[in-house]
Structure 1
Amino acid sequence: MFGEGPVVLPIGGPLYLQLKRWIEDAIKRGHINPGDALPSERDLAQRADVSRVTVRKAVQQLVHEGVLVQRHGSGTFVAPETQRVEQSLSQLTSFTEDMARRGMAVRAEWLERGLYVPSPEETIILGLGAGDRVARIARLRLTGETPLAIERASLSMAVLPDPMSIADSLYKHLEKTNMRPVRAIQRIRASNIAEEDAHLLQVPVGSAGLHIERISYLGTGRVVEFTRSIYRGDTYDFVAELRLGDTSNGALGS
């Protein structure tokens, strides 16, 4: 814990930044651990001989940076450590299958599930005709209490007529009807997480994230799934195995 004595602030800069650096150093040195409660605003103000406004400003800055988290009615806590997850880019697996291979228990919270009028983008990518409807499912993926990603998938109603019938894995469900994709094209780009998604992922607005779009195909070449996902940048690493290709055409440099 922080102890009971007076707080000696580092020298230099505004008082709130001095207090911010002191809190960061206390966490780094292990005087307070992930998940522990921060002393009260009044206690910190008295011990550091600063105003409560100064304490509040330092704490808000650390909350914005993800070092601290505030829980309504409970107080302010050191943010829990996040376990990084590696996912291969060379295999087409479901989130549930991928985490199970790593021995990680995952769960999903449903954000959306139903049949809708398709957007122009969904119509083009899924090859829908006039009057066709689209099945949309959106899930928040978590391990324990830590959110990892938000997945939003769109499929033709002909492929998924009853979105409510999905249990834990979309791909397991599609396998039962011989509609599980066998290949996919995936595009990944860096992004700053917007306010609504940041709230769901429990990260500050504007945090680094990975935006992933995936178009999945059946063996016949038919598009079966269009997925847009947001992954937390502090929890996910995507890993690809690269092999030396044919260098006779000069594609690879020395």
Structure 2
Amino acid sequence: MTVASAQAVAAAVGVPGDVFDKARFEAETATPLYLRLRKIVRDAVRAGRLGETEALPSERDLAERLGVSRVTVRKAIEGLVKEGVLVQRAGSGTYVAPRRSRIEQPLSHLTSFTQDMASRGLAADQIWLDRSVGMPSPEEAMVLGLSPGDAVARFHRLRRAGGEPLAIELAVVPLRYLPDPTEVETSLYAVLGRHGHRPVRALQRLQATALMPEDAQRLGLAAGSPALFIQRVSYLPDGRVVEFVRSHYRGDAYDFVAELTVAPAEQETP
């Protein structure tokens, strides 16, 4: 492909011609080749040379322009899709992903997802994956302090705000605290509060993870996309465990924020 035809293709898809300049590609020190292309695209998006929702040339055009195989181009693009830099639309092409407004979630207060979204002016809803009564798993029975034969209410749902999927949550509550799981339509904590069993404190663990294919599909992401796995154990005022939650939050949508202070023993004395 000639320089003129390459520029024509770039103009046709709305991509600045210098982003995929062969000299720029060959000057990159990253190896192998797919990492060079990945870096060029990532840098161009960050610098604004590739704008939000802008289309990229086809795999064939990029391969011809840079003198690499289509396999190299495909591998570079697949990695950027997993990072959330690009999105692919079936039958349409590859585009720069729209920028998301990240949600800052403080870790100092115990609130429900519904409350969190309402405080930001967003309407929370969900797609129910499971809402039922059953027997606990060994892990659930141990965490919840259940006796043999004790049943639980299970709430497994895709949590959304403004119609956008943000998290997958599995909450388990001893049945003695919430006998009818169908009472929960949006906020679990609101229903527990009506029964006099709203939690007052919790222990929460956060862990970075990669989404399995099924969960990634539910969240509209590529398999292996980064996520935050959160495990929370919530307590009643008397110390009994009322809730055991395991959630996967989108890594590209959430920032969990904690305020830290110096321990009294470590503060400087005058």
TM-score computed with the length of structure 1 as normaliser: 0.82
Matches of 1:43 and 1:26 in 2, distance apart?
18
TM-superposed CA distance for 1:97, in Å, is 0.4
Contact (CA 8 Å) 1:6, 1:47: kept in 2 or not? no
* Contact 2:236 2:242 (8 Å CA) reproduced: yes
Matched, 1:160 2:178: yes
Matches within 5 A, 1:194-233: 194-233=212-251
Of stretches 201-210 and 130-139 in structure 1, the one that deviates more from structure 2 is: 201-210
Tell me the equivalent position of 1:113: 131
Stretch deviating more after TM superposition (215-224 or 198-207)? 198-207
More off after superposition, 204-213 vs 178-187 = 204-213
Give the percent of matched residue pairs that are identical in Structure 1 and Structure 2: 53
Return the letter of the residue paired with 1:214.
R
Taking a change above 3 Å as real, the CA distance of residues 45 and 145 of structure 1, as seen in their structure-2 partners, is farther
Hey, what's the Cα distance between the residues in 2 that align with 1:154 and 1:213?
A: 12
Determine if contact 1:115/1:133 at 8 Å carries over to the other structure: yes
In the alignment, the residues of structure 2 paired with residue 54 and residue 29 of structure 1 have an alpha-carbon distance, to the nearest angstrom, of: 23
RMSD: 2.9
Equivalent position of 2:165 in the other structure? 147
Deviations 1:114-133 (A, max 9, x none): 11221111112223233222
Distance in 2 (CA, whole Å) between partners of 1:99 and 1:6 is: 39
Aligned residues of 2:19 and 2:44 also touching (Cα < 8 A):
no
Q: d(CA) in 2 for partners of 1:192 and 1:83?
A: 21
How far residue 243 of structure 1 moved from its aligned partner, in angstroms, is 4.4
8 Å contact from structure 1 (residues 156, 224) kept in 2: yes
The structure with the largest helix share of the pair is 2
The aligned amino acid for 1:142 is: R
**TM-aligned CA distance change 1:187 to 1:14, over 3 Å:** closer
* Structure 1 position 7, deviation (Å): 4.5
2:119 matched residue in structure 1: 101
**1:35 & 1:97 partners in 2: Cα distance?**
31
CA deviation string 1:14-55 (max 9, x = no partner): 654444444334433434433333333344445556554443
Gapped regions of structure 1 (runs ≥ 5): none
CA deviation profile, 1:156-215 (whole Å, cap 9, x unmatched):
122222223311111112122222112222222333434433333344444443222211
* Count of aligned pairs between the two proteins: 250
135 and 19 in structure 1: CA distance in 2 versus 1, 3 angstrom threshold: same
Deviations 1:28-83 (A, max 9, x none): 34344333333333444455565544433332232233321223344322222122
72-81 or 14-23: bigger deviation: 14-23
Q: Normalising by structure 2, what TM-score?
A: 0.77
Residue of structure 2 aligned with 1:182, choices 200, 214, 220: 200
- 1:172 corresponds to which letter in structure 2? A
Q: Which amino acid aligns with 1:161?
A: P
The equivalences for 1:26-105 within 5 A come to 26-45=44-63, 47-48=65-66, 51-105=69-123
Provide the residue aligned with 2:6 in structure 1: none
For structure 2, the residue ranges without an aligned partner over 5 or more in a row are: 1-13
Look up the match of 2:211: 193
Please say if 1:8 is aligned against 2:21. yes
Q: Counterpart in 2 of 1:128?
A: 146
Q: In structure 1, give the amino acid aligned to 2:238.
A: T
Name the SS for the 1:98 alignment partner. helix
Counterpart-to-counterpart distance in 2, 1:135 and 1:148: 23
